[in-house]
Structure 1
Amino acid sequence: MQIYNFSKDNGKKIGIFNSNFIMSRIIETNKGAHIGCMYLEENGIIGYHQATIPQLLLILDGEGYVCDEKKEYFKVRSGDSIFWEKNEWHETKTETGLTAIVIESEELNPSLYMPKKHWDVSSVSF
């Protein structure tokens, strides 16, 4: 499991075509990709399972916890993205709710565009 940051602070100001916005690049793929939006309500959970394909989870709103195959939990919030390789065991849960976009594709390399997140605290146990 790798955790990245796609927040506004890591974006680039775009001014071409009289534009005025910040773009945080996330991923590029030459192979097909499945993209979906997940809504976890209070005490929501994406149960512990093995990734059938590389997965990138982008937290848009709210906060929660993700774990790796060691069952070590890490707190994530809006602006964080979590990458799991194919066959990696993982889980996502929230006490207060979160909204996330999931991108699944055989060809994902989030480190091309997003910096890895630096942790202020160690993992959390449940």
Structure 2
Amino acid sequence: MELYRFDQACGKKISQFNSDFIMSRIIQLNGTAHIGCMYLEADGVVGYHQAVTPQILLIITGEGKVRGENNEYIKVQAGDAVFWQKGEWHETITSHGLTAMVIESEELSPSLFMTTK
């Protein structure tokens, strides 16, 4: 399991085309990808299972805990990203709820764009 950041502090100011915003790069893909949004209510759980493909979990709101194969829970919150390799056992839990984007693809290399936590 690898932990990354994608919060505003990690981003770059974009001013092209009269723009004024911060962009935190996450990933670039050329192949097939599955992208979804997960909504975990209070006491929500994504049960302990093996990753079918490399995947990254981007915490958008709320907070929770994740664990990998070492069974140690690590707190995550908005702006954190968790990366699991294919076949890696993992789980996500939350007491108060969280919303997260999940990207699954054989081509994930978050270390090319994001800062480690």
TM-score bucket (shorter structure): over 0.9
- Quote the Cα distance in structure 1 between the aligned partners of 2:80 and 2:86: 20
Q: Which runs of 5+ in 1 are unaligned?
A: 118-126
Deviations 1:68-102 (A, max 9, x none): 11111100000000000000000000000000000
Match of 2:19 in 1: 19
Distance in 2 between residues matched to 1:113 and 1:70, nearest whole Å: 26
1:48 matched residue in structure 2: 48
Runs of 4+ with >2 A deviation: none
Partner residue in 1 for 2:109: 109
Q: State the shift of 1:30 in Å.
A: 1.0
Query: In structure 2, how many angstroms separate the alpha carbons of the residues matched to 1:70 and 1:21?
Result: 39
Residue equivalent to 1:38: 38
Structure 2 residue runs without a partner (length 5+): none
Q: Which residue of 2 aligns with 1:3?
A: 3
Residue number in structure 2 paired with 1:61: 61
- Give, in whole Å, the separation in 1 of the partners of 2:69 and 2:51: 11
In the TM superposition, residue 12 of structure 1 has moved relative to its aligned partner by 0.1
Cα offset, 1:29, TM superposition = 1.0
Q: CA RMSD in A?
A: 0.3
SS at match of 2:53: coil
More strand per residue: 2
Q: Is it true that 1:100 corresponds to 2:100 in the alignment?
A: yes
C-alpha separation in 2, matches of 1:68 and 1:56: 13
Partner of 1:123: none
